[in-house]
Chains A and B, each alone.
Chain A
Amino acid sequence: MVGMSYAAVPLYRLYCQATGLGGSAVAGHDSDQIETMEPVKDRIIKVTFNADVHASLHWNFRPQQTEIYVVPGETALAFYKAKNSTDKPVIGISTYNVVPFEAGQYFNKIQCFCFEEQRLNPQEEVDMPVFFFIDPEFAEDPRMASVDLITLSYTFFEAKGGHKLPLPGYQ
């Protein structure tokens, strides 16, 4: 088993089917915001993509684009690709990271492939989309004035299906 260091993952599995409120000091984002938000067209941000796998996961996992140029308030699509290069089905699960840290609060994933177990059959390769937007409030935050590069990193590791990790005392 990968170990307790990844205990945060099943924590978020509980919330994946819900409306997205993670319980921490972060506001939920609803469809009304997406419907009414206006793109901040003069604020171009470069989003770059990293992909990693844990050493024990024999998947070929990589982004399908090195970068995308977006503006706050505009929904954007990007793709990763994963291939199970073994001869057995493998279940993977991923988490992500955003740098710079302070920009992460403005990075909103509408839908992606993280925090849910993903099963790939032997030699199977799939596209993995990420649908996201940068909150328009990013453009109004003086701390973000010099941020024009955001890096999204996904890391996949193997999930042992059915294995339940004890949840830390959440709530």
Chain B
Amino acid sequence: MSTAMNFGSKSFTPRPPDKGAFPLDHFGECKGFKEKFMKCLRENSFENASCRLESKEYLECRMERQLMAKEPLEKLGFKDLTDEKSEAKHKKL
């Protein structure tokens, strides 16, 4: 498997990430959420669909600590999880 940069016309062209780079979490502020996510993956045969709540929580951690631009979760693909969250809130009331 080649990981070298090829500059021929038929090669893969890398694109920048849509929202730029994540700042580095130098102090490991969100490491706990990362560990929770990784544990979820290991326990669920590395199925992303089973660990979306944990991935949402990791990104929320970053947003709360200025390690990621704040965005509504729907714009990060979590609209189904936000619906459930607000439903749960309604039930508690």
Contacts and interface: CB of A to CB of B under 8 A. Distances in A.
Count class of interface residues, chain B: 35 or more
Given A24-B13, A31-B75, A77-B55, 5 more contacts: A5-B7, A37-B77, A65-B38, A97-B14, A114-B16
Contact of B7 (A8, A15, A67): A8
A69 B21 contact: no
Nearest to B68: A111
Interface of B: 1-3, 5, 7, 10-22, 24-26, 28, 30-31, 34, 37-38, 41, 45-49, 52, 55, 58-59, 68, 71, 74-79
Contacts of A19: 18
Interface of A: 5-6, 8, 12, 15-17, 19-20, 22, 24, 26, 28-31, 34-35, 37, 39, 41, 50, 52, 64-71, 74-77, 79, 95-99, 101, 104, 108-116, 118-121, 124, 126-129, 131, 133, 151, 153, 155
18 contacts: A16-B20, A24-B13, A26-B13, A34-B75, A34-B76, A35-B74, A35-B79, A41-B49, A69-B47, A95-B5, A96-B14, A97-B5, A99-B12, A109-B16, A112-B17, A112-B21, A131-B22, A155-B3
